[in-house]
């Protein structure tokens, strides 16, 4: 990597940030395409967010990913946002155009592409979405126009029902909200075609946890878990054992990253290169199982 005064800088901000795979993924993509870009991680605490964003303008940093806990608060520091960001109330990607900061959300599109590119048929299908938090809301927003029916289950039933009602009216689709209880999950799974876990259940170090009992899974299901650490969660292992089609959380990570990459560079993202870099990094850290 030959860094000069012409090199464009992109990065990611968050707190904590030491776990991020974004530098590995994006630098591999920049190098593969021979782009004069570099990607760095910046540890930014909530109290320093506004200062950091002024620094983005002052230093001319070209593009930024935004992770927890800044996805909502960062909107107040931006000059313009798209409709998706306004609806979700969060942004995870920023483009700096001559000091004008534009905000985007690529989480939902990343999840949708991860499903479609891995051969999951959504047209006319029922999707069961576990969770109604930030990531789940972004995913639901892009899924509703693509599917026949969406069920959203969440620990806060009111939050799930409110999101379901809003999306149902917005897209004129059948969307229901309910409780994230074992019985409700089991009941909804009976006629679901796709199961998507958008909660943190099963994330390292809680490797033995899953919201779904193994006996509820079937071979005709497609299952995606947005958790990517570990690459294979208990849910996806159980789904594989049941013969279901499984999509790893790494796929969503890669495709949402690819959307950001294309916003910053105007180039098609090298998906295979980005996936290989992510999996190699996880493997080297012992987090691929």
Distance from C-alpha of 246 to C-alpha of 191, rounded to nearest angstrom: 18
Question: Is 276 assigned a catalytic role?
Answer: no
**Distance from C-alpha of 231 to C-alpha of 249, rounded to nearest angstrom:** 7
pLDDT digits (tens, 9 = 90+) for 190-240: 999 999 999 999 998 889 999 999 999 999 999 999 999 899 999 999 999
Start and end residues for every CATH 3.40.50.10860 domain found in the chain: 8-105+252-284
> DSSP secondary-structure letter at 258?
H
Residue 84 assigned to a binding site: no
C-beta neighbour count of 129 within 10 angstroms: 32
What integer pLDDT is reported at residue 286 of this predicted model?
A: 64
Please tell me which residue in 71, 126, 137, 245 is annotated as part of the active site: 71
Q: Give me the DSSP letters along 106-123.
A: -HHHHHHHHHHHTT---T
Question: Any known ligand binding at 209?
Answer: no
| 8-105+252-284 placed in CATH 3.40.30.10 | no
What fold characterizes domain 108-247? Rossmann fold (3.40.50)
Q: Please provide residue 154's backbone torsions phi and psi, each rounded to the nearest 5 degrees.
A: -150, 155
Reported pTM = 0.94
Every domain of the chain with CATH number 3.40.50.720 lies at 108-247
DSSP structure string for 5-68: TT-EEEEEEESS-TT--HHHHHHHHHHHHT-SEEEEEEE--GGGHHHHHHHHHHHT--EEEE-T
Give, for 14, the enclosing helix (H) or strand (E): strand 8-14
- 63 annotated to bind ligand: no
For residues 120 and 127, give the distance between their C-alpha atoms in angstroms, rounded to a whole number.
11
Q: Considering Cα of 130, then 135, then 138, then 143, what sign does the dihedral take? A: negative
The backbone torsions φ and ψ at residue 149, rounded to the nearest 5 degrees and listed phi first, read -155, 145
Tens of pLDDT, residues 85-117: 999 999 999 999 999 999 999 999 999 999 999
């Amino acid at each position: 990597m030959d860094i000069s005064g012409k090199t464009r800088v992109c990065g990611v901000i968050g707190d904590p940030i030491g776990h991020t795979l974004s530098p590995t993924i994006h630098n591999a993509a920049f190098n593969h395409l021979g782009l004069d870009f570099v990607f760095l991680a910046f540890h930014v605490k909530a109290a320093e967010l506004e200062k950091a964003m002024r620094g983005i303008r002052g230093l001319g940093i070209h593009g930024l990913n935004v992770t927890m806990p800044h996805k909502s608060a960062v909107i107040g520091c931006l000059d313009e946002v798209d409709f998706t960001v306004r609806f979700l109330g969060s942004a995870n990607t920023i483009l700096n155009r001559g000091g004008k900061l534009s905000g985007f959300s690529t989480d939902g599109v990343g999840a949708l592409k991860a499903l479609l590119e891995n051969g999951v048929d959504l047209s006319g299908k029922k999707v069961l979405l576990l969770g109604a938090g930030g990531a789940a809301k972004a995913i639901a927003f892009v899924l509703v126009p693509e599917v026949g029916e969406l069920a959203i289950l969440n620990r806060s039933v009111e939050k799930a029902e409110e999101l379901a009602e809003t999306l149902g009216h917005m897209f004129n689709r059948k969307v229901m909200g309910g409780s994230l209880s074992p019985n409700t999950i089991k009941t909804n799974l009976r006629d679901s075609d796709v199961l998507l876990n958008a909660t943190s259940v099963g994330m390292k170090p809680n490797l033995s946890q899953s919201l779904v009992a193994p006996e509820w899974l079937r071979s005709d299901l497609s299952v995606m878990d947005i958790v990517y650490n570990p690459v294979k969660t208990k849910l996806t292992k159980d789904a594989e054992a049941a013969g279901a089609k499984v999509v790893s959380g790494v796929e969503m990570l890669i495709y949402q990253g690819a959307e950001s990459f294309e916003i910053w560079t105007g180039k098609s993202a090298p998906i295979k290169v980005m996936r290989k870099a992510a999996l190699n990094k996880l493997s080297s850290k012992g987090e691929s199982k």
